[in-house]
Structure 1
């Protein structure tokens, strides 16, 4: 049986991941926080903006508790992917503060509703859902993007960890990681003689 202890567990884990996302932009320049680091333009501040948009939608309109601020639309072509990057007119503070306002709104929904409260996700093939399913979905979505953020931040400045403290207390120095990478590269090449 799924009960309030399951709801609390999922909610606490979601909060941990939210904080981890914000830690990934701590100490970075404006440019590094928002610059595209993949072919598709993935960037740290855009991931936070994206998570804020979709968390607001999932814990808002899905349960008839709309977030009180405008959101980019998923069903309007001109607004698709607008949540994946920050314009020059959006400050880091604006985006981070909005994410925190979304948390408060989402937390109020999670607190107010039973774990089996019904919701409706209009963009899903099976749109009738329960709060439990949405909690699991947002946990998976946030976890997925936290993993992206881990890799992006490591590429930017070598920082690893899930919070500001662990990112500041690096267990190994750059020499250790260079040697480790060389060992892994050697093993990869040895496993495929065509690349040796």
Structure 2
């Protein structure tokens, strides 16, 4: 089952790399006159003007959620790398940390990209969406794929008896919310 762990690490690295590239690059919007703009600055030919903090609220929200997604993605990547040698750090399962961080990174990147998409209006005759915007959106499903792959990996680096599909179903069962029904013989919690 090491192939699942290796594949999860690869997807985690790829999604984190795409998210960082989208966050740092300035080709979110490309204009016909060869100018481009991103989350941090606007460039016209060879001259760039940095935005700083004087931007609209949706740009701040996009930046914030992409940064949170980047941190969660980094946690997921390093947890998956650590899962090759350890199953737990103290009482924390590395596998569950990686799965949770991957899904959080995916949700944060989806919120950021949706915010930018919903608020930014591009006039097709003057500008179009740039490649930075595209790879930002690409990171969202890749983080979700990473979470599924991480969920399917065995908890222990030496565990190999269970199939990937049963591990995935077992993982989903652990993350399900309790239905709220009182079990027979259980005491109510306060």
Report the TM range for the smaller structure's normalisation: 0.3 to 0.5
Bigger helix share: 1
| TM-score, structure 1 as length reference | 0.33
TM-score, length-scaled by structure 2: 0.33
